[in-house]
Amino acid sequence: MYIKLDPQSDFPIYSQLIHQLMEGILKGDLKEGDMLPSVRSLAADLGINMHTVNKSYHELEKRGIIQIVPKSGAVVRLQQAEKESEHYTRLVRELKPVLLEAMTLGMGKAEINSLVELLVKEYKEE
């Protein structure tokens, strides 16, 4: 699975890594139950620090996407996000400002929905 990081991006490295790993899951490169590479080996592969990878993994765990087994490794464990769950709440908190921006740029409900559909399709066809 290929991971691309851009040091010049607005997003910090650990965020980019989170995004790439989520992409990998959605594309099927990583499936439920799969082990993620160890923080040391992935850091070496990507040419970044171990702690940066570690931060990404723990953030993914906080988001309910992987499970970290102490002294062992990280496993893909997708959780269903119930409404009112902390995962769902955080998602809404992150989604709001982006929608605000879309609306101030003149996009309506229909336009936003078609954009969302377009982007969703890039990762998963249903």
Binding residues for a second copy, rule: CB under 8 A, are 10-11, 15, 18-19, 22-23, 25-26, 63-65, 78-81, 87-88, 91-109, 112-113, 115-117, 119-120, 123-124, 126
Contacts (Cβ under 8 Å, ≥6 apart) of 41: none
Choose from a second copy, DNA, none: what does 71 bind? Cβ within 5-8 Å by kind: DNA
3-state percent helix, strand, coil for the chain, nearest multiple of 5 = 55, 5, 35
CB of residue 35 vs a second copy: minimum separation in angstroms? 17
Nearest to a second copy of 50, 112 (CB atom): 112
CB of residue 80 vs a second copy: minimum separation in angstroms? 5
Contact 87, 94 (CB under 8 A): no
Nearest to DNA of 11, 123 (CB atom): 11
